[in-house]
Amino acid sequence: MPSGEYEKEERYCAICKKKLRPLYKNKDWDSRKYHVTCFRDLLADIKNFDTVAYTKYKYKKKVNGIPIEDIPPDHKFVLDFS
């Protein structure tokens, strides 16, 4: 049973897309967009982005805008220090 006055309102977490539990007594309910756990996970990911970017978020390591696995072994880069 949700706390506070029941309103027929369904909101979904902007991160995991699952339903938010209606917590009307909480002061931040009007502006709440995320589960607390989802938000904490997001902050932890931002803090450790250099490690989770390539695994969890599928970023690709690039050299000069080219993904590393797409660079042929005989490719030559020209360094310009001007």
- Residues making contact with Zn ion (CB under 5 A): 13, 15-16, 35, 38
**Distance, CA of 26 to CA of 5 (rounded, Å):** 11
**For residues 38 and 53, which CB has a smaller minimum distance to Zn ion in the complex?**
38
Partners of residue 23 on adjacent β-strands: 3
**Distance, CA of 47 to CA of 23 (rounded, Å):** 28
- Closest contact distance (angstroms) between CB of 21 and Zn ion is 10
8 Cα distance to chain centroid: 29
**Residue 71 token pair:** 């660079």
Q: Which residue is nearest to Zn ion (CB)?
A: 13
- Closest contact distance (angstroms) between CB of 80 and Zn ion is 46
**For residues 42 and 66, which CB has a smaller minimum distance to Zn ion in the complex?**
42
**For residues 18 and 47, which CB has a smaller minimum distance to Zn ion in the complex?**
18
